[in-house]
Chain A
């Protein structure tokens, strides 16, 4: 399936390894949580890049201590209306500081690109390559963000008070706890 990264169709170097398949030693491979748990020592020792695939009911906390070993975490949208992966992605980025690729798989549609991006996804496995065309527009359709999330973009509350802060108030007063 085509992969979108940074708004463009990108080459996908990764192979997603099924539970009963051999893990190729010579190329980047994504394994499931069960495989990782059963073969942790072997997988840790491999040289080629490793990614992990989480189901929606796998707890992110269960792999928090192992995140340094993964270059990629693949999260699933079994249906686009199933929103559990949004929470998983934010936890990976914001709580556990995962710096690698977070890949959206399953039913990944253009109209959800922006909220996926905001939750920390940065790679999108889509059904057809045409989806890349709407990417830039999808990310810019709504330029106003009310919440803090994983994308680091400025929120309304910051923009509202930024000007006032630099002009009028000493920093200490603004940051004083309410």
Chain B
């Protein structure tokens, strides 16, 4: 993984001291809250319902074991002993005191981490496929480009006060695990006819109150021009994006209003002016960054491990866990292991400090010291030898991290909702807890098969409800929480926004409604059909009839 050099280190150290001075000026009244707000946001500090929340960037979702241990330390020292992994591969601490924030940032800088640009109207943490560098279907490691983007976007002097926040996601594989089509810019690596690798550039995706799937404005961008092309997009957006209405300020609205063809024309015209200037990195610098992602030296492993095969055959629980929680690794004799942060009845994405420390230990023992964060709010150990899988499974099980539900109905994405968030209009976490309890029977969950439920506590859609196979949006009706159901959304390479099925359900009836959707699907499905296949074949009507029959 990438390691800071003296320049990267000095950068984060100086940012900490700059913010320390800004906090001091705020506490002494020299800065008004209005003036201070964008400064703290650019350092990851939000004001929530009960306290400040610190959102720490985990660039492209890659963590080392010492970094995870340091996050545990921060959770203990400045928070209440736990952290919450988000849908943008960040971690949030919910109980931070303003006067402690500079020290927490200094503790992060000690392990080459920061909370920079995790909020505010700037270029946010760039996200990537959580299987980057190890996925069997990958063309090239997207993190090389994410790290280039991270550096280019760090206090970009021109793009620090954009019309609105700006999110970039990159995938190096055809199977999109990074939801690139629902980002302001999505980048998908592929090969052109000459066998060269480059990016399909998609612009204007996003969720929120106006969900949009990104439009492709360039089918193939030679990879050496990535930064100049991004700079062109950002410049067009910075100058032309709407600033008159907060809800129309994202780039998706600009793309929608002028059209993808006009957006492409403007970006290409701007790019023609800057593509041969010094925006793009010189070869030596690209090579320096790429070297960090060359991949670890794997100890040679046999592709067939008799004791692993025996364990798989003799243990149904282990076999079930292998089916959902592991993925194909490009290196023979290895697997990618997902740690479920969605045990029945627990808040999705929450991890205690003790769990973080234990995971760091397991990563060092079994995964070459590396951990990944998935946007589905789970963790990944990316380099596990087949012969270690059984022992790792047992260790994870003891920690409550081996629920065999990755990609299944209880693997719920949920925003913090009204339990923490100042914007929320309804609670998300308790609904997620109740659904995961209702479907806690793993045999049943496996029978239901691939089905994602995403829950947002307000229209801002941090829980990605628009792209859940089943989406739940919490709304407030005269002081009571209701939940609107959408069906048919998806966030992968065939991304689609789900359709609202009908009137919202009360907090008391919404879990039954979800179960009705599931039962309707099970009754209708044909051999081998997943939920989305059945839904596509039969449409909304049968679900609507069942859901509203009694009403």
Seen from chain A, the residues whose Cβ lies within 8 Å of a Cβ on chain B are: 80-84, 86-88, 90, 94-95, 109, 111-112, 114-116, 118-119, 141-144, 146-149, 156-157, 159-161, 164-165, 169, 174-178
Contact = CB atoms under 8 A, between A and B. Distances in A.
A159 B288 CA distance: 13
Contacts of A157: 281-282, 285
A87 B158 contact: yes
B238 A148 contact: no
Could you say which of A83, A88, A175 has the most chain B C-beta atoms within 10 Å of its C-beta?
Answer: A83
A160 B285 contact: yes
A109 B35 contact: yes
Contact of A147 (B5, B8, B22, B157): B157
A147 B7 contact: no
B157 A160 contact: no
Main secondary structure on B side of the interface with A = helix
B7 A83 contact: no
B224 interface: yes
B24 interface: no
Interface residues of B, number: 42
Given A146-B152, A147-B152, A149-B158, 15 more contacts: A82-B243, A90-B158, A111-B39, A112-B161, A115-B160, A141-B17, A143-B10, A143-B14, A144-B8, A156-B8, A157-B285, A161-B285, A174-B282, A174-B283, A178-B283
Given A141-B18, A146-B151, A147-B152, A83 B162 contact: yes
A114 B239 CA distance: 20
B332 interface: no
20 contacts: A81-B121, A83-B238, A86-B159, A94-B277, A95-B273, A115-B157, A115-B160, A141-B17, A142-B18, A146-B155, A147-B279, A148-B278, A148-B279, A149-B157, A159-B7, A160-B288, A174-B284, A178-B281, A178-B282, A178-B283
Contact of B7 (A86, A90, A160): A160
A115 B161 CA distance: 10
Contacts of B17: 141
B286 interface: yes
Contacts of B278: 148
Nearest to A155: B278
Nearest to B19: A141
Interface of B: 5, 7-8, 10-11, 14-15, 17-18, 21-22, 35, 38-39, 121, 151-152, 154-162, 224, 235, 238-239, 243, 273, 277-279, 281-286, 288
Given A164-B284, A177-B283, A156 B158 contact: no
A86 B158 contact: yes
Contacts, number: 108
Q: Which 4 A-B pairs have the closest CB atoms?
A: A83-B161, A178-B283, A118-B157, A144-B11
A81 B161 contact: yes
Nearest to B121: A81
Given A83-B238, A164-B284, A142 B38 contact: no
Contact of B35 (A84, A88, A111, A161): A111
B158 A83 contact: yes
B151 A156 contact: yes
A121 to B, nearest CB: 10
Could you say which of A111, A141, A149 has the most chain B C-beta atoms within 10 Å of its C-beta?
Answer: A111
Could you say which of B5, B15, B283, B286 has the most chain A C-beta atoms within 10 Å of its C-beta?
Answer: B283
Contacts of A90: 158
A106 B187 CA distance: 37
Contacts of B157: 86, 114-116, 118-119, 147, 149
A84 B159 CA distance: 9
Contacts of B235: 87
Contacts of B273: 95
Contacts of B286: 178
Contacts of B121: 81, 83
A61 to B, nearest CB: 10
A156 B278 CA distance: 13
Nearest to B235: A87
Could you say which of B11, B21, B157, B224 has the most chain A C-beta atoms within 10 Å of its C-beta?
Answer: B157
B238 A146 contact: no
A143 B15 CA distance: 10
Nearest to B9: A144
